Structure 1
Amino acid sequence: MSSVKYRETTMDDLDLLVKLRIDFILDIKPCNDSRLIAEVSRLTKDYFSGLIAKNQYFGFIGFIDEKTVCGAGLFVYSLPPLYQPIIRTQGHVLNVFTYPEYRSKGYGKGLMDFIIEKAKEKQISRLFLNATKMGEPLYGKCGFAEPEDKAMILRLI
């Protein structure tokens, strides 16, 4: 059996990134409304393509031979200087997803390690994510921790 390999995606992988996002969503909350799924897919494709073109979104996949087994995204943005005269670049890891038949084999951990290394190469100063209950143990193993100063959220819609 071949081992998993990881890579950063390109604009040529846009349809794959959209598929991974939809599979991630449907894994969390199944939906049988094909028109809704088609519209979410179209909007996701527009969203990703715009951000990829501006180097604000990076996709990552893990694959065995030609079969994609896991994937994730990294939304990147900058904040103004705080206590040092540098722009702070942050990354929001999202849509971390491993197909069910490949779970509990270390592929998600390998993907997260790959993303962390790529973020360092891109000089991203901080990564954050929103974890599902299933994902929390994985992220803890990767060094993610609850912030000391918990962010507050105001939902507007």
Structure 2
Amino acid sequence: MHLTYHLAGPSDLDLLVRTRIQVLRAANLLPEGAPLPAVEDTTRPYYQTALANGDHVAYLVFDGNLWVGSGGVSFYQVMPTVRNPSGRKAYIMNMYTRPDYRCRGIASYVLDLLVQEARQRGVAQIGLEATAMGRPVYESYGFLPAGAEMELV
């Protein structure tokens, strides 16, 4: 096993869209191949714009040429608050590792890459929605429950 962590760019759009659909099927317990045309139609333009303007950063994980995992973080602005005077927030999403590659630290490593990117940008609040399978990864990193969401403060 030789894992590489690739910062996604415009040339990765097809794979990013495919992985997004795969993540949504898995998270929503949909059968493989279940059509999600509305999501597919809006995901490509989202990635095109957000990757270009820096509002989204994604990592793709490969074992040789085989895609085995991914994760992304979206950046956005809200009104400043006492806890978050800059108003900058980040939301981690699209975390996925192929079943045959789980429990090898891939998700933890991708999570760290995404959190470090957010911290370098001065983001004080990082949120995410955790599946039952992903919750232990996020908790061990320091994320705290916040209803269905969790955040690292």
TM-score (norm 2): 0.83
Residues 114-149 of structure 1 deviation map (CA, whole Å, 9 limit, x = unaligned): 1111222222222110001111001111111124xx
Contact 1:6 1:114 in 2 (8 A): no
One-letter amino acid matched to 2:140: K
Equivalent in the alignment of 1:107: 106
Contact 2:25 2:32 in 1 (8 A): no
Equivalent in the alignment of 1:88: 87
Contact 2:89 2:125 in 1 (8 A): yes
Q: Does 1:119 align with 2:118?
A: yes
Percent of counterpart pairs with the same letter?
25
One-letter amino acid matched to 1:75: S
One-letter amino acid matched to 2:14: D
Equivalent in the alignment of 1:30: 30
Length, aligned pairs only? 148
One-letter amino acid matched to 1:140: E
Distance 1:7 1:32, change over 3 A: closer
Runs of at least 5 residues in structure 1 that lack an aligned partner in the other structure: 153-157
Equivalent in the alignment of 1:56: 55
Higher share in strand: 2
The higher radius of gyration belongs to 1
One-letter amino acid matched to 1:68: W
Equivalent in the alignment of 1:76: 75
Shift of 1:33: 6.4
One-letter amino acid matched to 2:125: R
Structure 1 distance, partners of 2:84, 2:128, is: 26
TM-score (norm 1): 0.81
Equivalent in the alignment of 1:155: none
> Root-mean-square deviation (CA), in Å?
2.4
